[in-house]
Chains A and B, each alone.
Chain A
Amino acid sequence: MTIVLTVILGLVVLAILGVVTARLQAGRMLVYGGCLVLCLALLVAGIEALAAPVAGLSLPIGLSLPIGLPMTGTQLRLDPLSGFFLALTGLGGAGASLFAIGYGRHEEEPWRVLPFYPLFLAGMTLAILADDAFAFLFGWEAMSLASWALVMTHHQEHGNARAAYIYLLMAVFSGLTLLLGFGVLAAGGGGYGFEAIRAHPPTGGVAATVLVIALIGAGAKAGLMPLHVWLPLAHPAAPSHVSALMSGVMTKVAIYGFIRIVFDLVGGAPAWFAVIVLVLGGITAVMGVLHAMMERDLKRLLAYSTVENIGIIFVALGLALAFKANGVTAGATLALTAALFHALNHTVFKSLLFFGAGAVLHATGERNMEKLGGLIHRMPRSSAAMLVGCLAIAALPPLNGFASEWLLFQAILLRPDLPQWGLKFSIPVAGALLALAAALAGACFVRAYGIIWLGRPRTIAAEQARETDPLSVIAMVVFAALCLLGGIFPGVVIDAVAPLVQGLTGARMERQLQDAWLTVAPISTARSSYNGLLIFLFVLGSASLTAFAVHRLASRGVRKAPPWDCGFPDPSPATQYTGDSFAQPVRRVFGAIVFRSHETVDMPEPGDNRPARMTKVTHDVVWETLYAPLAGLVGRIGTVMNRMQFLTIRRYLSFVFAALIVLLLVLAVRQ
């Protein structure tokens, strides 16, 4: 507890130091180096809280500070749930800070980043540690505001100011929604402290209201469809290490908020709510990855893929709620474990991928994949780390993304005989959507990696790219190693989150590390088991043995020659497949429904010298049907209200008089 408090204080001090030293070289080293140390401390504190019995801690540890709201003060609490998310914040923050020590050198206006970066981390830490609504919302809003300032770093660039504006609107919406939710919760037990709320959990209609509000408030911050619109705008606009934090960690704080309110404060949810969460999660996963598949901008692609992964986590949470509502403790335990495992995995690989995007951006000045290509030759170390990240996010064995999705599939298969009809349909459909999202993610990241890192360079900038600085490479390699370790030792993570899952569902999974060869068997070995370590060793062993045998016994000769390409190799890199052409088959299959997309081909008559043109049109359906009309309505109301600004004093006085009459009437009616 003291460590975490020290970390928060230290981060605030670093923010102040950041203001003072922003214009110095040393300022960058100081702020990012300090953040790195503090985040590592946070990681240790979080792990210690998870391993409380081993570490000799007795949890939960509460602390009351005499600041904040009068009468309530500020309540803080360290329990396994907050410990897990603190560790996650520490991990993501440490990686981003390490990456930023080198990467921050290229920032032209460091004074726009350095003061807000530690504040952003401090806000997230406070939100996780809070044990009353005020402290939670204070941390939540600090996180939102600091990240808004970071999104505004390059505000002169086209589109960034608009992105930050939409982000701010959605953040305010999310904060206000949660404020309303806590108000409803506090009304039941008479206090904003979580302890008081836990003592008087809401029931019936009140509980239903709180659940829906929590889904909207936390979902808006996490990027759940249709509240995701700010995410693909805001995450790419920030500097890359901040994008990594926003996608990798901030969305997880939103997940934490959802778990804290729904599982801890309300204590579970009825089946209809689980159906909503399952369906929304499944749709979010598929829509997110389809948008990512169509995207040319690398960082926006990654942001949309974050939306997809949030969907996967919500499906797992919905499944846990469904099992919990029916008293199937084993299922709830398994699904919740899968959700937390996937949250951790997403932090690791999404941070890694955003680091890689930052390295590409620095090396070439480009985020548009149609202007990149062939970087594997120019940036060998970054590209190797990125390959691991892309394979991990595509849920391929033996990496970590596959391990968590495998657990989730096992949870789906666990109990098909739940009594509610809504669940009977929504669980298999959510499973199908997850499988579809996983396959699309594979296609999406083959495209991202293949177009950007493989092939031939499409521009001079891509041709002259240089490897990024060593510290950034180290950050990437460490995270790539974590992707592999998480995949081959999934039992370690499952065992680590067991105490926190036990606190929320009342049961724990069997200890996985006892099994022979570290096999993971969620229910029983007879039912299903997976051993990432052995699969990894088998693939590695058979690939290298085969390569060795072929080189030894058959042939070793290699001749370099021009590409074959069916006899007509063209030296122009424009003849390669582009990101758009690669996505075209998938767009033709899914796009007509999802994007209302269509293609028109303009073919000139024979003898006409005009070039042939193909035009594609795609629509962002959610934006056009939901947000654009809303924005138009607000605009129209604003125009009408604007007339009020230019009235004569007589009319203003009559308005005041009318208002007085109405108020008096209201009073009269109420009495």
Chain B
Amino acid sequence: MIPDLIAQLAQMAVVLALAPLLTGLVRKVKARIQRRRGPPLIQPYRDLKRLLSKEAVVAENASWLFRVAPYVVFACTWVAAALVPTFATNLLFSWSGDLIVITALLASARVAQALAGLDVGTSFGGIGASRDVMFATLAEPAMVMIVFCVALIAGSTKLSTIAEYMASGQVGLRVSLALALVALLIVALAENARIPVDNPATHLELTMVHEAMVLEYSGRHLAMIDLAASLKLLVYVSVIICIFLPFGIAVSGAGPLAYLSGVGAWVVKLAAGGVVLGIFEMSIAKMRVFRVPNFLGAALMLALLGLLLLFVSRGM
């Protein structure tokens, strides 16, 4: 009970502390590939600090929803992050929600953000929200199919059980798992508004999706949304790590040393994920908005194919 509680609290603190660093790392990698020096790794922390200390400018016709939404977005993402086993599987509250709940919590965050985008009644908020929900109508079912695939193999939808099962090495090579991995990578790119689906660095109006939706935000509200976006990236990378590369994760009953090595392994894998993401983003061009459904549709079909294979034969 006590170690579980400590693991849980430590996890909540660590994900919050490391999320901006991961964002900073991706930016740094991209800058280095472009032969720029790039902002320092801790620049996202400085940005957050600057935004937090500024006053918030709120549009005259904004409703209460506009001011509440950033906190809801952040809280939903944070709770989702707290349920993902990053360095240890024995989180105290891991039973309160499974992978489907994590997906749905991120969907809640998205809905809150899309509603806030529509609240002021500007055209940019509308364009961002409508495109974002269009992406979601394909990315979310794909994610649910991926969850189904993984859950059928591991015999559980609980992420901690899945991680323990995958870490135990009794899985072997499976076609359906490979299909699910490809689909999950595509979904993760789309959900985090990365290239080729969306460009997190753009401020060219017609290409913005996520940035257009949060255009009216400033000050502490924007800080909350930026932090939530960083957290979401960390959640997705952690989910991928936890399902497909869970080696080194501390299982329940392990000693303090195992926790330390668990944290170390997770941070190394996280950093590797950030570097790979940066390289990938630099090696591919952004798509037109209406090419994205094909891209996401491929993820949906791959995940469905994996699921069908599992229904046909448990060994696939």
Which segment, of B115-123, B242-250, B258-266, B269-277, faces chain A? B115-123
Q: Indicate whether A638 reaches chain B with its CB closer than 8 angstroms.
A: no
Interface residues of A in 374-426 (CB under 8 A from B): 374, 376-377, 387, 391, 394-397, 402, 406, 409-410, 412-413, 416-417, 424-425
Q: Whole-angstrom distance between the alpha carbons of A411 and B117 in the complex?
A: 36
Q: Indicate whether B307 reaches chain A with its CB closer than 8 angstroms.
A: yes
Q: Indicate whether B201 reaches chain A with its CB closer than 8 angstroms.
A: no
Q: A535 — which chain B residues lie within 8 A by C-beta?
A: 79, 96-97, 101, 105
Name the prevailing secondary structure of the A interface residues. helix
Q: A535-B96, A563-B60 are in contact. Are A431 and B148 (CB under 8 A)?
A: yes
Please state if B72 and A396 are interface contacts (CB–CB under 8 Å). Answer: no
Q: Indicate whether B280 reaches chain A with its CB closer than 8 angstroms.
A: no
Q: Which of A443, A447, A543 contacts B75 (CB 8 A)?
A: A543
Q: B64 — which chain A residues lie within 8 A by C-beta?
A: 376
Q: A454 — which chain B residues lie within 8 A by C-beta?
A: 63, 65, 115, 118-119, 121
Q: Which of B56, B76, B108 contacts A558 (CB 8 A)?
A: B56
Q: Which of A402, A417, A527 contacts B156 (CB 8 A)?
A: A527
Please state if B52 and A555 are interface contacts (CB–CB under 8 Å). Answer: yes
| Cross-chain pair count, CB within 8 angstroms | 278
Interface residues of B in 90-147 (CB under 8 A from A): 93, 95-98, 100-101, 104-105, 107-108, 110-111, 114-115, 117-127, 129-131, 133-134, 136-141, 144-145
Please state if A543 and B124 are interface contacts (CB–CB under 8 Å). Answer: no
Q: Indicate whether B34 reaches chain A with its CB closer than 8 angstroms.
A: no
| Chain A min CB distance to B261 (Å) | 26
Q: Whole-angstrom distance between the alpha carbons of A539 and B68 in the complex?
A: 13
Please state if A402 and B104 are interface contacts (CB–CB under 8 Å). Answer: yes
Q: Indicate whether A209 reaches chain B with its CB closer than 8 angstroms.
A: no
Q: Indicate whether B54 reaches chain A with its CB closer than 8 angstroms.
A: yes
Q: Indicate whether B58 reaches chain A with its CB closer than 8 angstroms.
A: yes
Q: A576 — which chain B residues lie within 8 A by C-beta?
A: 121-123, 126
Q: Whole-angstrom distance between the alpha carbons of A498 and B283 in the complex?
A: 56
Provide the A523-548 mask, 1 if CB < 8 A to any CB of B, else 0.
00111111100110011101110110
Please state if A435 and B145 are interface contacts (CB–CB under 8 Å). Answer: yes
Q: Indicate whether A507 reaches chain B with its CB closer than 8 angstroms.
A: no
Please state if A456 and B121 are interface contacts (CB–CB under 8 Å). Answer: yes
| Chain A min CB distance to B142 (Å) | 8
Q: Indicate whether A557 reaches chain B with its CB closer than 8 angstroms.
A: yes
Q: Indicate whether A642 reaches chain B with its CB closer than 8 angstroms.
A: no
Q: Indicate whether A585 reaches chain B with its CB closer than 8 angstroms.
A: yes
Q: Whole-angstrom distance between the alpha carbons of A538 and B12 in the complex?
A: 12
| Chain A min CB distance to B176 (Å) | 11
Q: Indicate whether A581 reaches chain B with its CB closer than 8 angstroms.
A: yes
| Chain A min CB distance to B101 (Å) | 6
Provide the B267-310 mask, 1 if CB < 8 A to any CB of A, else 0.
00000000000000000000001100100000010001001101
Q: B104 — which chain A residues lie within 8 A by C-beta?
A: 395-397, 402, 406
Q: A528 — which chain B residues lie within 8 A by C-beta?
A: 98, 151, 156-158
Q: Indicate whether B185 reaches chain A with its CB closer than 8 angstroms.
A: no
Q: A451 — which chain B residues lie within 8 A by C-beta?
A: 118
| Chain B min CB distance to A462 (Å) | 12
Please state if B123 and A577 are interface contacts (CB–CB under 8 Å). Answer: yes
Please state if A559 and B98 are interface contacts (CB–CB under 8 Å). Answer: no
Q: A425 — which chain B residues lie within 8 A by C-beta?
A: 308, 311
Q: Whole-angstrom distance between the alpha carbons of A519 and B108 in the complex?
A: 21
Q: Indicate whether A438 reaches chain B with its CB closer than 8 angstroms.
A: yes
Most chain A CB atoms below 10 A, which of B157, B161, B205, B215: B157
Please state if A585 and B131 are interface contacts (CB–CB under 8 Å). Answer: yes
Q: A394-B111, A395-B104, A442-B111 are in contact. Are A564 and B293 (CB under 8 A)?
A: no
A-B contact pairs, 21 of them (CB 8 A): A373-B121, A391-B108, A396-B104, A406-B101, A432-B300, A432-B304, A438-B141, A438-B144, A439-B137, A442-B107, A442-B137, A455-B121, A528-B98, A531-B96, A531-B97, A539-B75, A555-B52, A555-B53, A560-B60, A565-B120, A576-B121
Q: Which 4 A-B pairs have the closest CB atoms?
A: A577-B126, A557-B55, A450-B118, A455-B121
Known: A409-B148, A443-B136, A530-B97. 9 other contacts (CB 8 A): A435-B140, A442-B110, A442-B137, A454-B118, A455-B118, A557-B55, A569-B122, A585-B131, A589-B138
